[in-house]
Structure 1
C-alpha cells in the first residue's frame, strides 16, 4: 500500500471552479487506474483549503497516475488556481 496526501491552498474565489475539476480527476483515477484504490476529496473549514487522501497499490501505481492524461489535463487546468500545494508520500509499514 502507498498513500498520498495533498493539501491545496487555493487562491481566493476559485473553489467553485476548482472542486468540480478535482472531483472529476478523482473519479477518473478510480475508474481508469487499476492501482488506485481510494481517492478522497475533502474541504476544510477555510474555503481555500482542499485535502486529498489517495491510496495506491504501490509507488509505481502513483507514478502511473502522475503520467495519466486525465491528471496532466487537470494539473494544467488548475495551475493558476493554487496558492500552495503540499504533497506527502507514505509507504506502509509491514508488520
Structure 2
C-alpha cells in the first residue's frame, strides 16, 4: 500500500478557489481504481492549511492517479493558490491494523 500525507499552505486571497478545486479533486479521486481512501481537511490550527491523506493499493494506482485529468488540472492551477511550498511525504506500507479506542 502507498500512503501519502501532503500539506498545502493556501494563499488566503485564493482560499475559496482552492477549496473548490480540492473538493472536485477529492470527489473524482475517490472513484479511481486502486484507491483505498482519499481525504482532504483544513488544519484546525490554521484554516489556510489543507492536509491530504491518500491511500493507494499499490504504486500503479498512485501513478494512474497522477495521470488523471482532475489531478493534472489541480497540479497546473496549484502554484497560483499557494502561500508557500507544499510538503508531500510518501510511505510504503506492508500492513495496517485498525486500532480500537
Indicate the SS of the match to 1:46: coil
Larger Rg belongs to: 2
Q: Which has the higher strand share?
A: 1
Check the 8 A contact 1:65/1:71 in 2, yes or no.
Answer: yes
TM-score (norm 1): 0.89
- Unaligned runs of at least 5 residues, structure 2: 97-101
TM-score (norm 2): 0.84
Equivalent residue, structure 2, for 1:87? 88
Q: How many residues align?
A: 94
User: Would you say 1:17 and 2:17 are equivalent positions?
Assistant: yes
- Unaligned runs of at least 5 residues, structure 1: none
Structure 1 runs, 4 residues or longer, greater than 4 Å off = none
Counterpart Cα distance in 2 of 1:81 and 1:90? 26
Deviation at 1:70, TM superposition (A): 1.1
CA RMSD of aligned residues (A): 1.5
Encode CA deviations 1:4-28: one digit per residue, 9 max, x unaligned: 1110011232211111110110110
